[in-house]
Amino acid sequence: MLLSGKCVVVTGSGKGIGRAAAIAMAREGARVVVNDVNREGADATVREIEQNGGKAVACYESVASMQGAEKIINTCVETFGKIDVLVNNAGILRDRMVFNMTEQEWDDVIAVHLKGTFACTHFASKYMRQQQSGRIINITSRSGLRGNIGQANYAAAKAGIVGFTRTVCQELAKYNITVNAVVPRALTDMVESIPEEIRKKKDASWAGSGIRRRGQPEEVAPIIVYLASDEAADINGQVIGLGGDKLSLWSHPREVAEAFMVGGWTVEHLRQLFKTSVGYELQSVGNKD
């Protein structure tokens, strides 16, 4: 089995993509810490893993606090003796237009997604550094890469996770720890939170194209399993999408145009030359492909 002997933490694994990943990893031989603040969901995932002959333990701590994150990681080490893989999947939505969004709605989403990813990585990387090996898989989103109306908090958190991934992968590479990000395309509670009229419009634009269909959470799990395996040791700092029938690799941000002015640019220079220098490569903005 691909993950035989591996000890794994999957946050937010009481349902959705986290649950699918936990079950798929256990099927491949991993021993799994199923973390979710929803006790019923966490226990249900553990039961399913155990019924299929796997090994799992539940942890109900919140990733949004350093104390909670430390307990989550320590649960894996204390129960199974080590931690080989961390999947930072836990997340919530508080969708609202930016002019209506409250401070609490902003803080809650940033705390679970972005701080939670940092907090769990902080404690897991200490163990992984000592053992000179590890896999960290962060879950980001198209909203963080392309933007999405009504999700300023969620998009900011997910974009932050991409920047976090690209930085931490460099910090931990010398310890044989890889850090990658996954962009799921699946029908989950996250998608259900999108206003119905927006979902119908997008789904209509995909009509007749099976290749562009959204997948189920179980169809995202394979890339998480693969990145967690020894076979993926040479994949680091990447942003990889999977869902439905589509596998994709996202590019790293780069300059698309440049222009030089000896002595530096003034406002007058920009007024005269911006549109005919770099301005001709202005990028479209929006969650369209």
**Residues linked to residue 215 through DSSP beta bridges, in sequence order:** 186
| 96 DSSP assignment | B
CB 7, CB 83: distance < 8 Å: yes
CB 155, CB 141: distance < 8 Å: yes
- Residue 286's region, left for phi above 0, alpha for psi from -120 to 50, else beta, is left
Catalytic residue among 127, 154, 226, 280: 154
How far is residue 115 from each of residues 105, 170, 236, measured CA to CA in Å?
14, 19, 21
Element of type H or E holding 32: strand 31-35
Tokens describing residue 242: 């999977």
Give the integer Cα–Cα distance in Å for 90 and 62.
9
**Residues linked to residue 136 through DSSP beta bridges, in sequence order:** 86, 179
Give the integer Cα–Cα distance in Å for 217 and 96.
25
CA 106 distance to own-chain centroid: 18
CA-based max dimension of the chain: 71
**Residue 237: Cβ within 10 Å count:** 16
Q: Is 60 an annotated catalytic residue?
A: no
Tokens describing residue 63: 């990733």
Amino acid at 268: E
- The catalytic site residues sit at 154
